[in-house]
Amino acid sequence: MSIAADAPQQHAAHQQHSQQQLNARLEWVRDMRGRFSPEGMCGLDGEVNQDYFKPKAIVIRLKDDEKWGPAQKEALYKGLEKYGVGKWKDMIQNSPELARYKDTDIRVHAGRLLGTQSLARHVGWKGNRAAVDAQRELHLKIAAATSCLKNGVLVENDDGSVARYLEEHPEDAARIASRR
Count Cβ atoms below 10 Å from residue 152 Cβ, excluding itself.
10
| Domain coordinates in residue numbering, the chain | 10-53, 68-179
Question: In terms of Cα–Cα distance, which of 77, 53, 66, 52 is closest to 130?
Answer: 77
Residues 6+ apart with CB under 8 A from 71: 97
pLDDT digits (tens, 9 = 90+) for 19-71: 999 899 988 988 888 888 898 888 888 788 888 888 777 766 666 666 889 99
> Would you state the pLDDT for residue 5?
60
